[in-house]
Amino acid sequence: MNIGFDAKRAYHNWTGLGHYSRTLIRSLSEYHPDHQYYLFNPKPAHRFRVTGNNLHEVLPGQWLHKLFRSAWRSSWVKKDLQQLKIDLYHGLSHEIPMGIQQTGIKSVVTIHDLIHERYPGQYHPVDVRIYNKKFRYACQHADKVIAISEQTKKDIIGFYKTPEEKISVCYQSCNPSFGKQVSDAEKKRIKEYYQLPEQFFLYVGSVIERKNLLNVCKAVFLLRNDLDIPLVVIGDGQSYKQQVKDYIKQNGLENKIIFLSENPSAKSAESFQSAADFPAIYQSAVAMIYPSFFEGFGIPVLEALWSRLPVITSSVSCLPEAGGDGAWYVNPESASEIAEGMKKIYADRLFADSMAEKGWRHAQNFTQQKCADKVMDVYKSLW
């Protein structure tokens, strides 16, 4: 087959959607090399490269398409799909080209979450309307819908009334570098380069209300007399981040909460921006703290499990799917439950090691090959 992808985020996004896109494309290329994969990219990329013998980047060719790249991606790209004899097109992040169903080209769309439907107040009203229109259109007109968790599948059915038989749950994998043991020398180098403390807890994710960093900081405050272990935060935000910083200042936690993304070395290092240094950071931490109120999947949880890093996460949404029996589950509303988990994992090394081992075993359900095979099964069901 000639398989096309909406590759905007594969080339330009460093958060979860970008990691999902790159990992899936590379996995399909490696484990299903008998197909040709065409990556439709609206503009030249500088940060990320996605290359391989059967991977072909496609950029807008006509001057009008270069001028209106968004229109090319959302509609005009259909002409390129037809010229390249694409058999199947996969919208990797919630959308497909308008009218693709009229071209005879089969289409698949991945829906990561419907958080804008559940928490519309956390988005600009205009964005909510745009997302609603795009997501609904994709679920209605794509030949198959991939949900990245059972939770997302339930939401697609609940919010959009998409027939259950049209939806396949295909879990995602993560960059295989997280599963490779980082040497002590490399971990030491990374710690020195980013001026990391000898021991630390880790939070990775956007600093937004849904991801609940404020309650993690409250847990650090509760532990102030018991644990002198700082929290390292990888991620950025705006108004909610300022709310978190106000709490930190009011409670004298400036030396206990480290916003690594603000570190000059992190800002300038391409290896930080591309997440290449993250496995060493994960493997140097005491535990991952990820008590989100709601997720589509929660990729930092999986990255931590692959890294043999104990995880504290929420008992709600899809997070038990991601964490399995290898995580400590908490009520995300409860700072005291988060604090209890942090204290237990730090104080009981045997318990922490058993968590890490269970988590690593659970992570084997999300290998790149298993995830690529499941997606290929969806493709083949249409061919």
- Whether 113 and 223 share a structural domain: no
Mean pLDDT of 158-181: 94
CA distance 261 to 240: 16
Distance from C-alpha of 126 to C-alpha of 141, rounded to nearest angstrom: 23
- Shared-domain flag, residues 127 and 10: yes
Of the listed ranges 11-20, 104-113, 242-251, 316-325, the one predicted with least confidence = 11-20
Q: Please tell me the total count of domains within the chain.
A: 2
Tell me: do 212 and 151 sit in the same domain: no
Return all residues near 167 (Cβ < 8 A) that are at least 6 apart. 144, 145, 146, 147, 153, 156, 157
Query: What would the pLDDT profile of 28-50 be if each residue is shown by its tens digit?
Result: 999 999 999 999 999 998 878 89
User: Are residues 157 and 286 located together in one domain of the fold?
Assistant: no
pLDDT at 175: 85
292 close to 284: Cβ distance less than 8 angstroms: no
pLDDT digits (tens, 9 = 90+) for 45-76: 887 889 899 999 999 999 999 999 999 999 99
Q: Based on the fold, state whether residues 198 and 308 are members of the same structural domain.
A: yes
Tell whether 47 and 161 lie within a shared domain: yes
Tokens 């804008």 belong to residue: 116
Is this prediction's pTM over 0.75?
A: yes
**Predicted confidence (pLDDT) per residue in 82-92, tens digit:** 999 999 999 99
Same domain, 200 and 188: yes
Q: Are 27 and 368 in contact (CB under 8 A)?
A: yes
Judgement on whether residues 361 and 372 belong to the same structural domain of the protein: no
Q: Which of 13-17, 106-110, 302-306, 326-330 has the lowest mean pLDDT?
A: 13-17
Same domain membership, residue 269 and residue 345: yes
Classify residue 50 by its DSSP letter: -
pLDDT tens string 337-352: 999 999 999 999 999 9
**In the predicted model, is pLDDT for residue 244 greater than 80?**
yes
Show the domain range for 353: 176-365
Are 218 and 310 part of one and the same domain? yes
Strand ranges inside 30-118, DSSP E: 36-40, 55-58, 88-91, 106-111
Q: How far apart are CA 20 and CA 11, in angstroms?
A: 11
What pLDDT sits at residue 89? 98
What integer pLDDT is reported at residue 362 of this predicted model? 95
**pLDDT higher than threshold 90 for residue 275:** no
- CATH of residue 283: 3.40.50.2000
Computed on alpha carbons and rounded to an integer, the radius of gyration of the chain in Å comes to 21
Residues 160, 286, single domain; the answer is no
199/126 same-domain check:
no
